[in-house]
Amino acid sequence: MSLSQDNSTQAAQRLKKFANGNETFQKSYFKKHEAQLLSLVKDGQHPRALFIGCSDSRVIPDLIVQSNPGDLFVIRNVGNFVAPYKPDEDFHSTAAGIEYAVGVLKVSEIIICGHSHCGAIAALYESSCDSSMVHTYKWLTLGEKAKSMALVALGETTSHEELLRATEHLSIVTQIENLLTYPYVKKLVDEEKLFIHGWYYDIGTGGIEYYDPDSYQFRPLSDLIK
């Protein structure tokens, strides 16, 4: 299938903002950091961490932690979910990314980062269902355990917003549990060669909380630098 010339021209106009942005990037950031970026071409990537985040356009991993190219290997999907390990030959995008980051890139840290006002979590509480979105609704079932935990902990009489925030936090914990079903991940964690972190990004403040497994609580990430 090919675009007609008229459609191609219209598409180019709609994407003009991004074209201008790339031109600015090449003339400013790329030029200023050319030596560093070319070393990544020559020497390849050696990221320290795998970052599993949400596809939400408001959550930009490199921006929120001010990391540089080459620092993070990033997987983004709806809801920052991790499906349990399933060793079959079907298509598993997130699992393939985890496998590559751990097995080939040898990352030492895995960050699962959820966020506030998450559309995937909100969808868990919506009764309407578009039957055409079969892949989305199947994927959202990965958040059901967190929803059930939030309802048990807070009860159905609590406010809707409190339920959403609690579910967002609890989902991070349940995705960590799912991640530990991957045998090669569990093995390296047990050997203390790989470390898993749960983060919660508040899009309203820019702040990040981290999950403390000793207290079963989320604490400000800024506490780690005090």
| Active site amino acids | 54, 56, 58, 115, 118
With a CB cutoff of 8 Å and minimum separation 6, the contacts of 184 are: 99, 102, 103
Choose among 62, 165, 186, 49: nearest CA to 114: 165
